[in-house]
Structure 1
Amino acid sequence: MMDMDKLGECILAARLDGKMPAQTEHWFGSTDIDDAYNVQNIVLGEIGRRRNTKVIGRKVGCTNQSARDLLGLDGPFHGALLSDTAMASPARIARSDYPFIVLEPEFALRLGKPLGPESAPHTAESVAGAVDAVLPALEIVSSCHTDWTRTGPALVIADNGSSYGWVHGAPVTDWDVDSLMNAEVTLHVDGEQIATGNAGNVDGGPLGVLAWLADRVLLPAGAIVSTGTTTSVHFGDRGERVEARFGKFGEVSVEIV
């Protein structure tokens, strides 16, 4: 990827100054993943400075084949969860605040112990003991690019993995591996069930996704990792109330106004 600074400027102009869509067509189709993460770090640093927000954890995207098919990618990627766009359920968001809204029901894992590449390779079994709570969540996915389904992996990654918000339920500390890895999930719009899924819909289950991330990123104690959509995604619109139900792990809802 060329002109990393320029790409970062284009994304930040869209994200922070409302200059949507970002003028990023020049980079469409790039697969330079290392450079993309460098741009992501630049973008996150400037967002943190200007919005006085901090990274509270990570999101992992494209952790199942349906999500990879939607974006034309061949593997997962990661971005950051930010304190100023994390909301407790029930939440209310404005449709006008986002280029578009895609809602993804996800299991999030809160770490009681640090994890990172220095002790790689990790497995689902080896990371389980580091998790002190499971949270039900809806990730709010959007994009500053003109057509996020054809940008290629680099632009998705550079735009913080298309993560624009995160709604969470109460942390569940009384959990076990079997109940998490076999948990069922349903997605509802205005009370009508529109999709079903389960924790096994993400690669290796939520703990497998955490292991993939811990092989690549330093995760401090207290970090939250949202592990990818467990059902088909929902393109949200104004006037809807969207709810995800995670069985014993609780519920999370968002109203779009």
Structure 2
Amino acid sequence: MPAAIALARQLSDADNKGIRLDSASLTEPGTPAEAFAVQRETLALNGWLTAGYKVAIRPDGSSVSAPMAHITHASTSGTAGFDRPAVDALEVEICFVLGKDLAPRNTPYTRETLLDHVAAIYSGVEFLGHRLDDGSRSPALLFLADRLGNAGYVLGEELPAKVTEPGQTYPLTITINGDAVFEGPGKHPNNDPVAAFLLFANALTEPVAKGRIITTGSLCGAIPTPPRAAIAISGFTTLTVTAASTRED
């Protein structure tokens, strides 16, 4: 545990200062459990509450996840601001808001029983803010300890349930400071927004509380953002976000 605390302090300091650490100088956790311990300790050091989780499927088919602390809700007019010391990129996503506590269970969740725990489905923008010099190319367990690069999330507008059906593409255009940076269609990396959520639910060891959000993958990949970014999203959803970062590369 002392190693987890030390790494959490280093990552926390980098997060709050908007700097990147030399991955080679850090001690990589030995197991996923140790990396998850670093995640929890980083949040605890700052008094940040876990407001949601980003979840994904590893190449070996297992679940991987990271807590998200900084979540902003767009206004009724579809606008929001997002400001963190480190903001490097954005991902447009589909997310789930839990309407019931999601608890570990002996009988696995099915798609139907899992979605019964969902109160609403929203569009969202995940912001990435890497605390490691190689970002997602850093050693796997070090990147996991860095909360998979998550900086925060903007919750957009409520969407119809049909957006979670497998095999879809999503009309999507993204502009940053007036320049088009993505022109659809958007596509989920697992071809199904629910797949990683279901795997995550069936790997739980402790409950996830009602009201938390679960987001499962980018429809557009990771799109770099400048320190000041006026972001306009249109297509399957409409959202305008002004993002700011103090990072100095």
**Normalising to structure 2: TM-score of the pair?**
0.80
Higher mean alpha-carbon deviation, 39-48 vs 147-156, is at 147-156
Q: What's the CA shift string for 1:165-222, capped at 9, x where partnerless?
A: 11111334xx33x4432361413112636242445x2325122221111122322222
Instruction: Name 2:113's counterpart in structure 1.
Output: 126
Change (3 A) 1:41 1:193: closer
Percent identity between the aligned chains?
18
Instruction: Name 1:26's counterpart in structure 2.
Output: 25
Letter in 2 for 1:44: L
Change (3 A) 1:163 1:185: farther
Shift of 1:240: 3.7
2:53 matched to 1:58?
yes
- How many residues were matched structurally? 235
Gaps of 5+ in 2: 245-249
Instruction: Name 1:153's counterpart in structure 2.
Output: 140
In structure 1, C-alpha distance between the alignment counterparts of 2:171 and 2:63, rounded to whole Å: 21
Letter in 2 for 1:194: F
Instruction: Name 2:213's counterpart in structure 1.
Output: 224
Change (3 A) 1:242 1:222: same
Letter in 1 for 2:42: V
Letter in 2 for 1:180: T
Instruction: Name 1:187's counterpart in structure 2.
Output: 173
8 Å contact 1:108–1:224 — kept in the other structure?
yes
In structure 2, C-alpha distance between the alignment counterparts of 1:23 and 1:80, rounded to whole Å: 23
Letter in 2 for 1:58: Y
- Secondary structure of residue in 2 paired with 1:117: coil
In structure 2, C-alpha distance between the alignment counterparts of 1:102 and 1:156, rounded to whole Å: 16
Q: What's the CA shift string for 1:16-74, capped at 9, x where partnerless?
A: 3x2722354234766621110011111111122xxxx422221124x59xxx8xxxx98
8 Å contact 2:197–2:216 — kept in the other structure?
yes
Work out which of the residue numbers 216, 219, 223 in structure 2 matches 1:234: 223
- Secondary structure of residue in 1 paired with 2:116: helix
Work out which of the residue numbers 94, 100, 116 in structure 2 matches 1:107: 94
Shift of 1:238: 4.0
2:10 matched to 1:10?
yes
Gaps of 5+ in 1: none
Instruction: Name 1:79's counterpart in structure 2.
Output: 66
In structure 1, C-alpha distance between the alignment counterparts of 2:2 and 2:203, rounded to whole Å: 24
Instruction: Name 1:171's counterpart in structure 2.
Output: 158
**Normalising to structure 1: TM-score of the pair?**
0.77
Higher mean alpha-carbon deviation, 100-109 vs 122-131, is at 122-131
8 Å contact 2:72–2:82 — kept in the other structure?
no
- Secondary structure of residue in 1 paired with 2:184: strand
8 Å contact 1:138–1:252 — kept in the other structure?
no
> What is the root-mean-square deviation of aligned Cα atoms in Å?
3.0
Instruction: Name 2:198's counterpart in structure 1.
Output: 211
Letter in 1 for 2:49: K
Letter in 1 for 2:192: G
Shift of 1:235: 0.5
Return the structure number with greater helix share.
1
In structure 1, C-alpha distance between the alignment counterparts of 2:219 and 2:18, rounded to whole Å: 32
Shift of 1:116: 3.0
Instruction: Name 1:251's counterpart in structure 2.
Output: 238
8 Å contact 1:123–1:208 — kept in the other structure?
no
